[in-house]
Structure 1
Amino acid sequence: MDDCKKVVIVGAGPGDPELITLKGKKAIENADVIIYAGSLVNKELLKYNKKNARIYNSATMDLEEIVKIMVENVKKGLNVVRLHTGDPSIYGAIKEQIDELKKHGIDVEIIPGVTSLFAAAASLKVELTLPDVSQTVIITRPEGRTPMPEKEKLRDLAKHNATMAIYLGVSMIDKVCRELIEGGYKEDTPVAVVYHASWEDEKIIVGTLKDIAEKVKKEGIKKTALIIVGEVLNPRHYAYSKLYDKEFEHEYRKKK
């Protein structure tokens, strides 16, 4: 496959235009054509472009239209960037784009980005994995128009009582909380809902599985928000990491 015949898929990050990678910023700067997820990507990122690129908003387009624009412009020898929100590997719908491009002999390069989960954790000033609390992070979504595979429904995942990050679920937060409690989380499990993590209009709502739904509805939040569930948000106790324990030896440090 010709190396020049490729589309660069860039993770735009969570919203703050400074939370894009240097490599992703460089790709935007050099793009002749940019197709961006207009309903989710901060338009400020488009200002990084130095070539007066043609801009397409994929929010109004279907897969066939998106692929057609990419193929036509790659075949003209132009630099094509597909700008996805967060990191494209999480709910990015990139697999189908990659497969369609392959049919035209076009490869892709993927530049990862900061997902909203990590921007939200930074805003909350929390560590998602705490010793004696949770060493596992489950990234998932509730069942909606997209069905969930067997054994991946929220009530099935809840039995682990791990830290859980729930995308695309704030519009059905009552159902989300009910299923998590039915699955095994206690009603007083801490929950944080972060709207527009890292954007200027970011909003953080904290509560428990028992009361978070009412708090979110009172704020009128219905989309572009992440739900984080777990004791790591407000731990009753946790152990300090052994990594910096003076009694803990490893190859770079001997016990004092």
Structure 2
Amino acid sequence: MTVHFIGAGPGAADLITLRAARMLSSADVVLYPGTYIDAEVLSHCRADTALVDTQQLDLDQILQVLVTAHQVGHTVVRLTSGDPSLYSALAEQARRLDEAGVPWDVTPGVPAYAAAAAALGKELTVPELAQSVVLTRAQARSTVMPAGETLANFAATGATLVLHLAITRAREIAAELAGHYGADCPAAVVSRVSQPTELVLRGTLADIANQVEAADLRQAALIMVGPALDPARVAESYLYDPARDRSLKR
């Protein structure tokens, strides 16, 4: 049997892939992050599937469940919020599974930042304003950030910033970024995107922290910053320019 790492998407039961739904329906054991996904996602599972909420488990305990289930011949799904390529602890779990001789694979999911952009109705890469998106996080009671990966360095590029795992530091982050983007730079926070309790806050770096604190947000929220979120003007893409020579291959 194989352990299947599956992106559960941002939380809504209908924002997972067809492949993910099919794999959930055939799983004997499903481990899921109860903090981040809506319980309705588990409706894709069979009634007799063993469900394990990992929010109170450490890495060793999670791996014990995965390995034990594999050893008795069960089909195992390890759900991650959003997409497994971002902040999912995939690397450390996969390394330990390799050491235990347990095969595994990965099924992608809808990343939370994409769902948040959809909730805002925004394109994060607006021509001549921002053509890059930086996906990062803040460091507090968490793993230390690499030395070069500072908010100042990222902000210097002028790219659209998407910060995960940073909502408890919203005021500090807004103050730091205002020094680079300006206090009037558009900012937004999307909490529990796509779920019944979704909350969208829109503002600027000058006032977004006030909104976060008033809403008492403490987890499961993204902070998004950059001029692309509320462009004063929108340049038109060369890709669809009538003057572009479409006879040439790109």
Q: TM tier, shorter chain?
A: over 0.9
Question: What whole-Å deviation, never above 9, does each CA across 1:193-229 have from its counterpart, x for those lacking one?
Answer: 0111111111111111111111111122121110110
TM-superposed CA distance for 1:187, in Å, is 0.9
Tell me what 2:192 maps to.
196
TM-superposed CA distance for 1:65, in Å, is 1.0
Task: Give, as a single letter, the amino acid of the residue that structure 1 aligns with 2:148.
Answer: K
Q: Distance in 2 between matches of 1:93 and 1:65?
A: 14
Q: Distance in 2 between matches of 1:173 and 1:49?
A: 36
TM-superposed CA distance for 1:50, in Å, is 2.5
**Number of residues paired by the alignment?**
248
Q: Does 1:172 align with 2:161?
A: no
Question: What whole-Å deviation, never above 9, does each CA across 1:2-52 have from its counterpart, x for those lacking one?
Answer: xx3x20000000011100000111110000001111111221111111261
Pick from 117, 120, 128 the counterpart of residue 124 of structure 1. 120
Tell me what 1:227 maps to.
223
Task: Give, as a single letter, the amino acid of the residue that structure 1 aligns with 2:160.
Answer: T
Task: Give, as a single letter, the amino acid of the residue that structure 2 aligns with 1:201.
Answer: T
- The sequence identity of aligned pairs, in percent, is 37
Instruction: Please give the residue correspondences for 1:15-34 in structure 2 after superposition, counting only pairs within 5 Å.
Output: 15-34=11-30
Does the Cα contact within 8 Å between 2:67 and 2:102 map onto a contact in 1?
yes
Does the Cα contact within 8 Å between 1:32 and 1:51 map onto a contact in 2?
no
TM-score normalised by the chain length of structure 1:
0.93
Q: Does 1:66 align with 2:66?
A: no
Does the Cα contact within 8 Å between 1:30 and 1:51 map onto a contact in 2?
no
Q: Does 1:147 align with 2:141?
A: no
Give the secondary-structure state (helix, strand or coil) at the position aligned to 2:152: helix
Task: Give, as a single letter, the amino acid of the residue that structure 1 aligns with 2:30.
Answer: I
Does the Cα contact within 8 Å between 1:139 and 1:167 map onto a contact in 2?
yes
Could you say what the CA RMSD is over the residues aligned between the two structures, in angstroms?
1.4
Give the secondary-structure state (helix, strand or coil) at the position aligned to 1:67: helix
Question: What whole-Å deviation, never above 9, does each CA across 1:41-100 have from its counterpart, x for those lacking one?
Answer: 221111111261111111111111111111111111110000111101101011110011
Q: Distance in 2 between matches of 1:25 and 1:246?
A: 42
Pick from 180, 204, 221 the counterpart of residue 208 of structure 1. 204
Pick from 159, 162, 173 the counterpart of residue 159 of structure 2. 162
Task: Give, as a single letter, the amino acid of the residue that structure 2 aligns with 1:221.
Answer: L
Greater mean alpha carbon deviation, residues 218-227 or residues 188-197 = 218-227
Give the secondary-structure state (helix, strand or coil) at the position aligned to 1:191: strand
TM-superposed CA distance for 1:157, in Å, is 1.2
Q: Distance in 2 between matches of 1:134 and 1:243?
A: 16
Unmatched runs of 5 consecutive residues or more in structure 1: none
Give the secondary-structure state (helix, strand or coil) at the position aligned to 2:224: strand
Q: Distance in 2 between matches of 1:52 and 1:39?
A: 22
Task: Give, as a single letter, the amino acid of the residue that structure 1 aligns with 2:145.
Answer: M
Q: Distance in 1 between matches of 2:52 and 2:20?
A: 18
Q: Distance in 2 between matches of 1:64 and 1:222?
A: 26
Does the Cα contact within 8 Å between 2:178 and 2:185 map onto a contact in 1?
no
